Chain A
Amino acid sequence: QKEVEQNSGPLSVPEGAIASLNCTYSDRVSQSFFWYRQYSGKSPELIMSIYSNGDKEDGRFTAQLNKASQYVSLLIRDSQPSDSATYLCAVNRDGTASKLTFGTGTRLQVTL
């Protein structure tokens, strides 16, 4: 079992719709969770961080965390063609090791 799992996609949504990206992780002691956006040929760009159970909203983005289910998700409202990218889920295990463990990413395509 991979430590961080994501559906590779592509996930195709029409412009203006809600895109829902999901991630599961295996290590119960994981404490912090991050979503990065990566355009083709570019480096990862941090878009959301979440540390406690529940929802966290920032503009069109909402991160959701459920530690009991070991599940974290990212919702993108009013999807735009510029949102087309690969979305990487990253997990930080605990306070003594700040390295991130990444999933393989989900490719999102927003169609006109």
Chain B
Amino acid sequence: GAGVSQSPRYKVAKRGQDVALRCDPISGHVSLFWYQQALGQGPEFLTYFQNEAQLDKSGLPSDRFFAERPEGSVSTLKIQRTQQEDSAVYLCASSLHGLSSYNEQFFGPGTRLTVL
């Protein structure tokens, strides 16, 4: 079976541009997570969806960051007016169940965003 897929794999943006990053979770997985990983650091939580509901967006660093999952499958993370500090790898993960701590998360390959 296919794993989590993300596109594009690499994105270069000029400062001030808007970008959209896509995540396609494992089929049937209820939960979807976005993380941001800076070089040499562990992933940092951004936001979480259970089906189409965004249940936690406490990790989004500013109101320039917006995520959606309108039909409960594919998700898009949008960053408006990109800044250099947004340069990072954006990871998407999915898990089978909903609200549960016994819930393994599987990561996609990530999108490496570079803001010039």
Chain A facing B: main interface SS: strand
**A90-B108 Cα distance, complex, nearest whole Å:** 17
A43 touches B107 (CB 8 A): yes
The contact of A100 among B41, B45, B99, B100, by CB within 8 Å, is B45
Asked if A62 lies at the interface with its beta carbon under 8 angstroms from chain B, I say no
Q: Say yes or no: B104 contacts A101, CB within 8 Å.
A: no
State the Cβ distance, A90 to closest chain B Cβ, in Å: 8
- Size of the B side of the interface (Cβ < 8 Å), in residues, is 27
- A71 on the B face (CB < 8 A): no
A34 an interface residue at 8 Å Cβ cutoff?
A: yes
How many whole Å from B58's CB to the nearest CB in chain A? 8
Asked if B56 and A51 sit within 8 Å, CB to CB, the answer is no
Among residues of B, the one whose C-beta sits closest to the C-beta of A2 is B42
State the CA gap A101–B41 with chains docked (Å). 12
**Is B42 touching A103 in the complex (CB atoms < 8 A)?**
yes
